[in-house]
Amino acid sequence: MSMLPAREIPGDYGRPFFGPIKDRFDYYYNQGELEFFESRMQKHKSTIFRCNMPPGPFVAQNSRVICLLDSVSFQTLFDNSKIEKKNILDGTFMPSTDFTGGYRACAFLDPSESNHAILKGYFLSLLAKKHDKFIPIFRQGISGLFSGLEDEISAKGSANFNDLSDAMSFDFVFHLLCDRKASETKVGSNGPKVFDKWIFCQLAPLVSLGLKFVPNCLEDLVLHSMSLPFFLVKSDYKKLYDAFYKNAGPILDEIENLGLKRDEACHNLVFLAGFNAYGGMKRLFPYLIKWVGTAGEDLHRRLADEIRAVVKEEGGGVTLAALNKMSLVKSVVYEALRIEPPVPYQYGKAKEDFVIQNHESSFLIKKGEMLFGYQPIATKDSKVFENPNKFIADRFLGEGEKLIKYVYWSNGREIDEPTAENKQCPGKDLVVLLSRLMLVEFFLKYDTFKVEIEKALLGSTVAFKSLTNAVHEDK
């Protein structure tokens, strides 16, 4: 790699306490997330610069970061020889371990910690073992989602996709891990709401409710200046923990055999199910449907044509082989993951001094400095993607397939694989598979649909306004 001209990292942190508070107000209230980054990128004429990231005082002791906003420097965050990933899943602060039984879940561990390899290696093997369950369990769940959408549209003229999608996602994860439906256990249909509350309490320092009748300074005081305590969700969490403890016995046996305590294994499993998997899907599916829905009827017709032709060719079955032949479906899923990655923030602490580069310059990073990548900008790098802000369904077709290495949603390049030694999402292949499956099931059943989008606390709310049933010639 040839060295580009050296440049000092632009930007500063302001005065102690006041600098972080000013940046926090800019981030949530004065500018908003996107403008916060874009305005600084323009001011410093650089995709790499210094700033404070929320929450800052008094939740985070040190809010100083070096922002990485281009597709080249962002990849430093995947290099575990240079950066440490200990306790920084949520950024410059870590929620109390009370939320996870006093243990640090796998996602908070650095690969240099022995429990990381044990847990991550186990999760990878578990998913490989459950592979043939993915399609049947998902198909069962999605039929409930479809009837829910249809019922709500006919009753009210509009259906909330998010609630139905959350219910389906929770049921999928529970069924996959516990080999039975949540509805057959004490959890019933309460799972999503409990996980929502538990996730919200952990991530409250990172959200803004956008409530018009609450003054900004009051919201800031309550949400961003202190952490919400675990006791608010303690009894609900206990119910879910007990349900996994009771129903995921074989998994807990296996993790115990690897040397962890049974309760540590179970808290880890609940975190995997609730935070990683359910929490990820909570944003993933609404984003996917939002982009496909708003792309309009022409794309819907092309997707339906491809999906129906391949399924017919494969003898009517929705199989892995069939999904692999659907090039447009694949491209659309990658494009949705590129344009709006479900987990937008990634952090990493420099293990040593090293040099990073963007497209124009090289910069010296000092040991102990915190790197922060805001992914929605890094995956819209105009030096890599043409018309980066536009949803282009065909982007990754043919020659475009070469660009999937710049898709980073899984905390790694799409062409790389999660391992026990790295921090890439072990659910990577499952997530891509379920996203494709969602489109396949949709367009086997429907010709087209109309949606309306609203911004929500954690992502987007998608309201279905209409669904047009497919007219099957050969049925």
Minimum distance from residue 140 beta carbon to ligand HEM (Å): 17
Query: Residue 299: how many CA atoms within 13 Å on its side-chain side?
Result: 21
Q: Which is nearer to ligand HEM, 313 or 421 (CB)?
A: 421
The reply to whether 336 sits near ligand HEM by the rule CB under 6 A is: no
Q: Which is nearer to ligand HEM, 173 or 304 (CB)?
A: 173
Beta bridge pairs of residue 65: 51
The reply to whether 83 sits near ligand HEM by the rule CB under 6 A is: no
The reply to whether 346 sits near ligand HEM by the rule CB under 6 A is: yes
> Which residues in 107-136 contact ligand HEM (CB under 6 A)?
107, 109, 120, 123
DSSP helix/strand/coil, 102: coil
- Centre a 10 Å sphere on the Cβ of residue 110 and count the other Cβ atoms it contains: 17
Residues 6+ apart with CB under 8 A from 343: 280, 283, 375, 409, 411
Token readout for 412 is 């790694």
Question: Contact 406/413 with Cβ under 8 angstroms?
Answer: yes
The reply to whether 339 sits near ligand HEM by the rule CB under 6 A is: no
Q: Which of 76, 70, 78 is nearest to 411 (CA)?
A: 78
Q: Is 18 exposed, middle or buried (0-12, 13-18, 19+ CB in 10 A)?
A: exposed
Minimum distance from residue 177 beta carbon to ligand HEM (Å): 8
The reply to whether 162 sits near ligand HEM by the rule CB under 6 A is: no
The reply to whether 237 sits near ligand HEM by the rule CB under 6 A is: no
Token readout for 248 is 């995921």
Residue in 284, 289, 336, 378 binding ligand HEM, rule: CB under 6 A: 284
Question: Contact 54/205 with Cβ under 8 angstroms?
Answer: yes
Question: Contact 447/307 with Cβ under 8 angstroms?
Answer: no
Q: Which is nearer to ligand HEM, 361 or 373 (CB)?
A: 373
How far apart CA 109 and CA 111 sit, in angstroms, is: 6
Minimum distance from residue 117 beta carbon to ligand HEM (Å): 9
Binding mask 39-78 for ligand HEM (x = CB under 6 A): ----------------------------------------
Long-range contacts of 94-97 (CB under 8 A, 24+ apart): 95/201, 95/202, 95/203, 95/227, 96/227, 96/229, 96/230
51 is in an annotated binding site: no
Binding mask 405-434 for ligand HEM (x = CB under 6 A): ----xxx-----------x-xxx--xx---
Angle between helices 134-156 and 161-178 (to 10 degrees): 160
The reply to whether 100 sits near ligand HEM by the rule CB under 6 A is: no
Helix (H) or strand (E) holding 214: none
Token look-up 């963007």 returns 358
Q: Which stretch binds ligand HEM (CB under 6 A): 7-15, 35-43, 63-71, 273-281?
A: 273-281
Token look-up 């119910």 returns 239
The reply to whether 277 sits near ligand HEM by the rule CB under 6 A is: yes
Residue in 117, 153, 232, 343 binding ligand HEM, rule: CB under 6 A: 343
Q: Which is nearer to ligand HEM, 135 or 430 (CB)?
A: 430
For ligand HEM (CB under 6 A), the number of binding residues is 25
Q: Which is nearer to ligand HEM, 172 or 467 (CB)?
A: 172
DSSP helix/strand/coil, 14: coil
The reply to whether 288 sits near ligand HEM by the rule CB under 6 A is: no
Q: Which stretch binds ligand HEM (CB under 6 A): 44-52, 101-109, 207-215, 303-311?
A: 101-109
Residue in 64, 85, 175, 267 binding ligand HEM, rule: CB under 6 A: 85
Token readout for 150 is 């249809």
Residue in 276, 331, 357, 361 binding ligand HEM, rule: CB under 6 A: 276
Token look-up 């030694």 returns 421
Q: Which stretch binds ligand HEM (CB under 6 A): 92-100, 255-263, 274-282, 381-389?
A: 274-282
Q: Which of 275, 251, 260 is nearest to 118 (CA)?
A: 260
Q: Which of 430, 424, 428 is nearest to 85 (CA)?
A: 424
What's CA 42's distance to the chain center, in Å? 27
Residue in 21, 60, 68, 89 binding ligand HEM, rule: CB under 6 A: 89
Q: Can you give the binding site for ligand HEM, defined by CB under 6 A? A: 85, 89, 106-107, 109, 120, 123, 272, 276-277, 280-281, 284, 342-343, 346, 409-411, 423, 425-427, 430-431
Binding residues: 425
Numbered residues of the known binding site for heme: 425
